[in-house]
Structure formats: structure tokens, C-alpha cells
């Protein structure tokens, strides 16, 4: 990187570096005459201020770190887009980190972000250990949990009503006459996974339907694992009449497994899930699912982050916010009525 600095601009324009800085930031009066001279010098030298030096001095980077478990998941992509839309208007940029549901990767990402001195962190954690997160919060880095909460952390959080929507989804199956329902869970150490399982159990219990151990599978939110688990289940002779996938990716894996086993949805087996699958409109049959509005979640997250950032100096005793978004059950054509 060639180094044309503010100093050279100042020399060329025959002014002090302070004047150049003032022109650059446009926050102090500068005479028209000097201003044009400076701008001309900037133009001629193709000068671009060093953001690093600027940030170091100002102690703010206008960067927001976003850490999500899977950037390829349309849900998290929506969250990112919603967030970006809101904060970019205020001049913030986003550093997006992918953790692949991997705790170590998450740790490294967070560490890097803190070192880069991002102004805030938006995190959808795959961890159940709050140690490092608390360290960050203690350091005074604004941190917002999205989609996934974690115990023992005192920060703002914005999540979906996973328990309620899981209950609703399961109830829908039950009301369609299903009893042998299989659930493919996400990681139970992650709040969304746990809450969705709890909602499922609650509905089953309420209707007095026993949950069979062999119908409780774990897919860790990943298509491949869900695929494998369902394959394994189908190899045995136990076959459920319906499957609940605790997220979209696992639903995709499950569909593939069913397809390979020549089982039709919903004729042979019903399938419902959380969130939209990719290319939802082209995949047959269309799945009945819980519609999580990731975009809205991202926007809300952006608003909260901005609120924290803009009031940071003023108001040290801001109250923690907990936002719970309610999701809808979207009924399509993947559930067979058994009654």
C-alpha cells in the first residue's frame, strides 16, 4: 500500500494538517479558499484517509461484528440483511463471521472481533457456556444475542417464541391424527433446539401421547446429520407417521432421505419444520412450516444496536431488553390427515 498521508496533502496545499483534517471531517469552519486548495490536493494525490489511524484516535470503528452459525442458511442470511439495512444507514459496516455450529470457531471469531475493536457484536451462539461471552460484556463491548439465548448472560436478547411455535406445530400434527411423531432435534444445548423440543413435549403430553425414545433424534441443526439419522431410523422397522424437523436444513436432509427410501410426503409420511427451506417454492411438496421472520429479527437487532451505540456515553444504566417475536404456522401440503 503506497502511503499518501494527510501530511503530504497539507504540504501540497500549503496548509497545516489540522486544516486538512477539518476539511476531511467537515466539522470545523474552514475558509472556502483553503477548502478548495485542500480538496484539489486530495484529488491530485488520490488521497484516502487511513481508517485505522482514524479509528484509533476516535476509539470507534463503525464496524459491527455479526456471528452466526451458518451463513448459508437463508434464515441467518435474512437476519444479516435486515441488520445491514438498518445500521448501514448510520454508516456502520458489518463483519460477518460463520461458525458452522462450532464452538471453537465461534470463540476465535469473537476474539478477532474484539481485537478489531468492533463497536458492537451481534451473536447467534452455538455455545452453552457463557464464560467468554461474559468476558466480552465485562470489557464493555455491546453484545446482542439474536435467535439463540444463553443462560447467565446479562445482555439484550431477541428471539422467537420457539416454545410456543413448536407447541403449535406439534398440535397441528396431532389434530391431524398423528401419534407416531418423530422429532429431529437441533442441539439441545442451544436454546432454540431445547425450546423447540420442550414445546413438542408439551403438546404430546397435553394430548396424552407417549413419546417414543426411538423417535427422538438429534440432527445438530445440520442437513447431513438429519439425513443420516432418518436413514438409520428407516432401516429399523419403526416408522413414524410424521416428522418434525427443528430447523429448515434438517428438513432438507430428511426430505432427501425419504426420497431415497421412496417414501412420499405426505402420503407415506408427513413432514413439518421450522423456517423456510431453500428454494422453497420449487420443492415439492411444499412443506408446512413455522415462518420465522429473520429479516425482521435483523432489523430489530439493528435498531437495538444503534440505540445502545448512540446512547452509550449518555446513559450508562440502560435497561436490558428482551424481545420475543411471534411466528406463524404456514400450512402447506406436507401433512396428511389421518382422521
Binding positions for DNA, rule: CB under 7 A: 3, 5-7, 14-19, 21-22, 24-25, 27-31, 33-35, 47, 49-50, 53-54, 56-59
Q: Is the backbone peptide bond immediately before 19 cis, with ω within 30 degrees of 0?
A: no
Comparison of 56 and 264: residue with beta carbon closer to DNA: 56
Binding segment for a second copy (CB under 8 A), chosen from 159-167, 271-279, 299-307, 328-336, is 271-279
| Residue 235 to residue 227: CA distance in whole angstroms | 12
Which of the choices a second copy, DNA, none does residue 28 contact, using the CB cut-off of 5 to 8 A by kind? DNA
Question: Any idea what the Cα angle at residue 15 is, between residues 10 and 18, rounded to 5°?
Answer: 75
Which of the choices a second copy, DNA, none does residue 30 contact, using the CB cut-off of 5 to 8 A by kind? DNA
Three-state DSSP state, 93 = strand
| Residue 38 to residue 53: CA distance in whole angstroms | 20
Comparison of 111 and 332: residue with beta carbon closer to a second copy: 111
72: its cell numbers: 448459508
Establish if 1 lies at the interface with a second copy (CB under 8 A). Answer: yes
What's the chain's length in residues? Answer: 339
Q: At its nearest, how many Å lie between DNA and the CB of residue 314?
A: 16
- End-to-end C-alpha distance for the chain, whole angstroms: 71
Establish if 26 lies at the interface with a second copy (CB under 8 A). Answer: no
Q: Which of residues 33-52 bind a second copy (CB under 8 A)?
A: 46, 48-52
Q: At its nearest, how many Å lie between a second copy and the CB of residue 111?
A: 8
Q: Is the backbone peptide bond immediately before 285 cis, with ω within 30 degrees of 0?
A: yes
Place of cell 494525490: 45
Establish if 262 lies at the interface with a second copy (CB under 8 A). Answer: no
Q: Pattern of binders to a second copy over 86-105, x per CB under 8 A?
A: -------x-xx-x-------
| Residue 325 to residue 296: CA distance in whole angstroms | 9
Binding segment for a second copy (CB under 8 A), chosen from 198-206, 235-243, 251-259, 293-301, is 251-259
Which of the choices a second copy, DNA, none does residue 277 contact, using the CB cut-off of 5 to 8 A by kind? a second copy
- For 213, which DSSP code? G
Distances (CA, A) of 144 to 15, 136, 303, 309: 44, 11, 11, 12
| Residue 80 to residue 302: CA distance in whole angstroms | 9
**Which one of residues 34, 141, 329, 330 is an interface residue with a second copy (CB under 8 A)?**
141
Q: 246 φ, ψ to 5°?
A: -75, -5
Establish if 308 lies at the interface with a second copy (CB under 8 A). Answer: no
307: its cell numbers: 440505540
Establish if 284 lies at the interface with a second copy (CB under 8 A). Answer: yes
| Residue 64 to residue 119: CA distance in whole angstroms | 6
CB distance 125 to 143 below 8 Å: no
| Residue 192 to residue 185: CA distance in whole angstroms | 10
Which of the choices a second copy, DNA, none does residue 36 contact, using the CB cut-off of 5 to 8 A by kind? none
Sign of CA pseudo-dihedral 312, 315, 320, 325 = negative
| Residue 14 to residue 24: CA distance in whole angstroms | 16
Q: At its nearest, how many Å lie between a second copy and the CB of residue 10?
A: 19
Comparison of 201 and 286: residue with beta carbon closer to a second copy: 286
Comparison of 252 and 275: residue with beta carbon closer to a second copy: 252
Which of the choices DNA, a second copy, none does residue 34 contact, using the CB cut-off of 5 to 8 A by kind? DNA
Q: At its nearest, how many Å lie between a second copy and the CB of residue 165?
A: 23
Residues that bind a second copy (CB under 8 A): 1-3, 46, 48-53, 55-56, 59, 61, 63, 71-72, 74, 77, 84, 93, 95-96, 98, 111-112, 114-117, 135, 138-141, 252, 255-256, 259, 277-279, 281-284
Amino acid at each position: 500500500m503506497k502511503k499518501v498521508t494527510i501530511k503530504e496533502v497539507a504540504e501540497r496545499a500549503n496548509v497545516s494538517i489540522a486544516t486538512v483534517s477539518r476539511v476531511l471531517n467537515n466539522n470545523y469552519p474552514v475558509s472556502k479558499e483553503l477548502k478548495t486548495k485542500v480538496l484539489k490536493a486530495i484529488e491530485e494525490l488520490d488521497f484516502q484517509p487511513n481508517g485505522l489511524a482514524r479509528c484509533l484516535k476516535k476509539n470507534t470503528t463503525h464496524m459491527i461484528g455479526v456471528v452466526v452459525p451458518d451463513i448459508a442458511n437463508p434464515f441467518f442470511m435474512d437476519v444479516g440483511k435486515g441488520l445491514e439495512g438498518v445500521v448501514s444507514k448510520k454508516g456502520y459496516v458489518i463483519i460477518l463471521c460463520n461458525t458452522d455450529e462450532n464452538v471453537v470457531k465461534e470463540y476465535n471469531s469473537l476474539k478477532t472481533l474484539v481485537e478489531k475493536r468492533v463497536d458492537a457484536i451481534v451473536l447467534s451462539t452455538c455455545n452453552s457456556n457463557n464464560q467468554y461471552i461474559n468476558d466480552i460484556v465485562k470489557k464493555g463491548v455491546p453484545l446482542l444475542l439474536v435467535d439463540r439465548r444463553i443462560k447467565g448472560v446479562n445482555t439484550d436478547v431477541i428471539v422467537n417464541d420457539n416454545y410456543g411455535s413448536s407447541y403449535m406445530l406439534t398440535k397441528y400434527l396431532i389434530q391431524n391424527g398423528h401419534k407416531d411423531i418423530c422429532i429431529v432435534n437441533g442441539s439441545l444445548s442451544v436454546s432454540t433446539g431445547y425450546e423447540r423440543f420442550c414445546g413438542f413435549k408439551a403438546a404430546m403430553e397435553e394430548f396424552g401421547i407417549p413419546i417414543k425414545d426411538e423417535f427422538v433424534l438429534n440432527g445438530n441443526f445440520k442437513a447431513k446429520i438429519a439425513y443420516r439419522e432418518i436413514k438409520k431410523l428407516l432401516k429399523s422397522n419403526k416408522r413414524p407417521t410424521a416428522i418434525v424437523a427443528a430447523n429448515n436444513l434438517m428438513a432438507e436432509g430428511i426430505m432427501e432421505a425419504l426420497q431415497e427410501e421412496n417414501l412420499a410426503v405426505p402420503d407415506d409420511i408427513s413432514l413439518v419444520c421450522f423456517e423456510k427451506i431453500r428454494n422453497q417454492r420449487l420443492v415439492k411438496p411444499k412443506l408446512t412450516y413455522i415462518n420465522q421472520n429473520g429479516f425482521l429479527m435483523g432489523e430489530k437487532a439493528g435498531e437495538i444496536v444503534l440505540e445502545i451505540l448512540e446512547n452509550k456515553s449518555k446513559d450508562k444504566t440502560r435497561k436490558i431488553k428482551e424481545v420475543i417475536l411471534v411466528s406463524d404456522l404456514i400450512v402447506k401440503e406436507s401433512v396428511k390427515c389421518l382422521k
